[in-house]
Amino acid sequence: MNFELTEEQEMIRQSARDYAQRELIKDVIERDTNAIYPTNHVENLKELGFFGIISDEKYGGTGLDYLSYVLAISEFSKIDSSIGVILSVHNSLAIAGIERYGNEAQKQKYLPHMTSGEKIGAFLLSEPEAGSDASSQHTTAVDKGDHYLINGTKNWITNANSGGIYLVIAQTDPEKKHHGINAFIVEKDTPGISLGPHEDKMGMRSSDTHSVMFSDVKVPKENRIGEDGFGFKFAMKMLDSGRISIAAQALGIAEGAYERALQYSKERKAFGKEISKHQSIAFKLAEMKTRIEAARNFVWKAAWEKANGKNFSMTGAMAKYYAAETAMFVTTEAVQIHGGYGYVKEYHVERLMRAAKLTQIYEGTSEIQKMVISRAILDA
């Protein structure tokens, strides 16, 4: 496997890194502290093409490969994982869901508005009683002939308020269980949709997260994605892709914390020399770097498999599991290396540690990833 990036991939990584290190860093602590949505950065990243980075050029996208996308998400997440999650949900779940499984009329109608960033996408799967168990959908979509009526509540929805296009998973025929689930494209301004309060989260506080409530929301029949009963399979396929995006976020968070810990260890002195020269700190840095390199290999391999049309379900789960564990380990060690300074906002690593925890939780906990991996092993 060739580990060298192409000129184009390196250019995308550098572009994302430059923006993150130059612009995101300026107000990231303020936005995190006060849970401020990054409106100005979102607008800038639209202009730079990151809101359509992996979509086909015929729909207004940039048309880049999946590894380029992963590189960008990681670079943004080194500084601000809120930007990482906003972009990932929009690109790898909402846009990709329509582009891969929607019909041509749906693609023509929605994708140009989404790739430009005019309409930001959200993916509505989780519910109060259906998080990891995606087959237990209590949101209903009753078939009324030429339209569906959707009722129910979705939880923990990224881009719920900023988004304009929702991909909604709902149960149409409970007797068929998961075979009766469908997926729908729903415009946010459709009558009957309301939002819960902004979630006061532990980490990634600059992204907007809300519950979304549906009360007799009328959705045209032509907005269903795929054949009747395709919704559960659709959700599972999209979660496979989503895991790579989360792995990329986790990798970036780990790299960001490691870079800060390394720099601090070369500046901070104790007992007459830089703390990096004390074996206890040097060994921490060695293990942090080793785990990051292993996580990067997982993430890049999963992205390469997806880009080349291979079955990436197991590799994606491995990448998500290991990168998230790595992010939690590295950020915790980064705080420890900083000592008391690591516990205050000014040095950034406590914020990165809070963000790392979320990568272990959403799109399935570590146990869910192990279940996906073990099934792939046993079914081989």
CATH number at residue 29: 1.10.540.10
Q: Average per-residue pLDDT in the chain? A: 95
* pLDDT tens by residue, 67-108: 999 999 999 999 999 999 999 999 999 999 999 999 999 999
The answer to whether residue 241 is domain-embedded is: yes
* H helix or E strand, kind and range, residue 171: strand 163-171
Backbone angles phi, psi at 10, to 5 degrees: -65, -35
**How many structural domains comprise the chain?**
3
363: annotated active-site residue: yes
Q: Which residue among 168, 198, 228 closes a domain?
A: 228
**Mean pLDDT within 298-311:** 94
**Mean pLDDT within 127-152:** 88
Q: Which of 22-36, 241-255, 366-380 bottoms out in mean pLDDT, i.e. has the lowest? A: 366-380
How far, in Å, CA of 122 to CA of 370, rounded? 26
pLDDT for residue 364 is more than 70: no
Considering the domain architecture, whether residues 162 and 88 belong to the same structural domain is answered as no
CATH classification of the domain holding 291? 1.20.140.10
The answer to whether residue 1 is domain-embedded is: no
**Mean pLDDT within 212-229:** 98
Structure tokens at 279: 């074996």
Considering the domain architecture, whether residues 158 and 245 belong to the same structural domain is answered as no
* H helix or E strand, kind and range, residue 218: strand 209-220
* H helix or E strand, kind and range, residue 290: helix 279-307
Helix (H, G, I), strand (E, B) or coil at 103: coil
Of 368 and 234, the structure prediction assigns the larger pLDDT to 234
Res. 323 pLDDT band, cuts 50 70 90: very high
Res. 380 pLDDT band, cuts 50 70 90: low
Considering the domain architecture, whether residues 245 and 174 belong to the same structural domain is answered as no
The answer to whether residue 2 is domain-embedded is: no
Considering the domain architecture, whether residues 220 and 239 belong to the same structural domain is answered as no
CATH classification of the domain holding 183? 2.40.110.10
Considering the domain architecture, whether residues 341 and 260 belong to the same structural domain is answered as yes
Considering the domain architecture, whether residues 202 and 289 belong to the same structural domain is answered as no
pLDDT of 367: 82
pLDDT of 375: 86
Considering the domain architecture, whether residues 214 and 147 belong to the same structural domain is answered as yes
Res. 219 pLDDT band, cuts 50 70 90: very high
Contacting residues for 161 by C-beta, under 8 A, at least 6 apart: 37, 195, 198, 208, 210
- Pairing type for strands 147-158 and 140-143 reads antiparallel
Considering the domain architecture, whether residues 163 and 210 belong to the same structural domain is answered as yes
Q: Which residue among 90, 116, 142 closes a domain?
A: 116
pLDDT for residue 373 is more than 70: yes
The answer to whether residue 270 is domain-embedded is: yes
pLDDT of 131: 65
Domain range spanning residue 221? 121-228
The answer to whether residue 55 is domain-embedded is: yes
Q: Which residue among 116, 151, 175 closes a domain?
A: 116
The answer to whether residue 366 is domain-embedded is: yes
Write down the catalytic residue from 99, 255, 305, 363.
Answer: 363
Nearest-5° Cα angle at 350, 346 to 351: 85
The answer to whether residue 370 is domain-embedded is: yes
How far, in Å, CA of 51 to CA of 57, rounded? 12
Helix (H, G, I), strand (E, B) or coil at 214: strand
Considering the domain architecture, whether residues 110 and 126 belong to the same structural domain is answered as no
* pLDDT tens by residue, 119-138: 999 999 999 876 666 777 89
pLDDT for residue 151 is more than 80: yes
Share of residues in the chain with pLDDT > 90 (%): 91
Considering the domain architecture, whether residues 24 and 87 belong to the same structural domain is answered as yes
pLDDT of 1: 60
The answer to whether residue 69 is domain-embedded is: yes
Considering the domain architecture, whether residues 208 and 251 belong to the same structural domain is answered as no
pLDDT for residue 369 is more than 90: no
Considering the domain architecture, whether residues 246 and 375 belong to the same structural domain is answered as yes
pLDDT of 362: 82
* pLDDT tens by residue, 173-210: 999 999 999 999 999 999 999 999 999 999 999 999 99
* pLDDT tens by residue, 35-73: 999 999 999 999 999 999 999 999 999 999 999 999 999
How far, in Å, CA of 239 to CA of 364, rounded? 9
